[in-house]
Structure 1
Amino acid sequence: MKTQISNSFKTWNFTVQVMARQELLGVAPRVLRCLKPKLIGILSADPEFVLQHADSCSIVPRHVYQQLKALKNPSKQACDILDHMIEKGPAVAEKFLQMLKGKELQETFPELLFLKELPENYPCAAEENEVTRKRKQQNLEPEENIPNKRTCNKGSKMVKEKDLMRVAKDIGHSWREIGTGALDIPSVKLEQIQENYPHSHVDRVFAMLRCWSREKRNEATADHLHYLLSQGDWGLSPDSIDFLLETS
């Protein structure tokens, strides 16, 4: 009887450990996705170094390695490396995340030291904190008293092409980071836009913004675009995008 109880306890304990491990692994892609804009900025300094280590750890298949290695734009190379790790699932994402926390990557990119301080439930905690912050703001400040509110209101006007062109003229060389990090446009689509407009930066950015507008349809409001472009490290100057908040 004692033997049966002991075996049952061992089985239960093993099952709990496996479930905990699976839950932890499931967090890794979300961590990479949440930190994607920041990681692109850091890894763009030497994405080739990251790729070589990913290859040595057998995280990327050889054909993917060759495709990523052929990219000449550092920001795009870093972005595509991250996209691959996220899309390949929890196990690959966790392995890549641990690689970023390793000694060699930490020494080469000192900015990655923050990864070791992240809580295990980082994405959940970040989302919960954001929700809490918004609720507190709503409780402390009536909606009509919040100046320049940067949310997507149902009554907001739809963004027009002339608005997109005006914004395009104020977006610089970080347009790819804005496309992937703020507008959630696939890097493959951005590469296609680059090929379609090789000689005009403004036309490239305009095409990217129009792609976002068509993809979002009813959600492509001026307020929504203003909110997206105001966030993250790429936050544009208020002087260049505040016109989107105008009601007329």
Structure 2
Amino acid sequence: MAEEEPLGGAQQVLRRLKPKLIDTLSADPAFVLQHADSLSLLARHEYKQVKALTDPSKQAQDLLDHVINKGPTAAEQLLQLLTGKEMQDTFPNLLFLKELPVNDQRAAGGNEVSRKRGQTFESEENLPAKQTCKDGSKMVVEKDLMRVARNIGRSWRAIGTGALDIPSVKLDQILEDYPHSHVDRVFAMLRYWSTLKRQEATAANLHSLLSQDDWALPPDSIDFLLDPILDP
């Protein structure tokens, strides 16, 4: 019988912290899954399998298991993602990852984390250089999305399917996740669009989508998206 290959440092850290991570990430596993997918941490069939699960805890558990089984590189990438500002803002309880013992940080590739984070996982709000695409377009950040969300009313589903091209099944899921807060569900919809569009999630693009056809929003509610980027 073949011996099981020993886990690398980052894999060991993820496996040891699994119960705490599952509990934390279960609050919005779809958000983590989309970011993991953008980094190609899962194969397509693994992504579809995790996405199809209806139990948030099971989604978080299977996502972690898949990444741990991928090897030390994938595990280190996930740890870097989870210690980035966007994840820390979305899941405040992840703060404990930044307070790991030094040995754990080294085992997880901690010496490389701070350098790579500046290249890959910094939020657009942290680095002015990250606020623009190569063509100079301003990327939307979460405070933009929240401001827009406050100006979208009962037509949010029509906007989601017609303007943002979001599947109805995803909108149903968002409604289930945020049944009591209209602004939170609209914000989740816009954040999902931003995650999917990646480099196309510019302020100008969002403004254009929300300015057309029957779902057009009043100009004074979205024109701030066209404000120029101010030099720091």
**Band the TM-score falls in, shorter-chain normalisation:** 0.3 to 0.5
- Which one has a bigger Cα radius of gyration? 1
TM-score by length of 1: 0.38
Report 1 or 2 for greater relative contact order, CA contacts < 8 Å, sequence distance ≥ 6.
1
Normalised by the size of structure 2, how large is the TM-score? 0.40
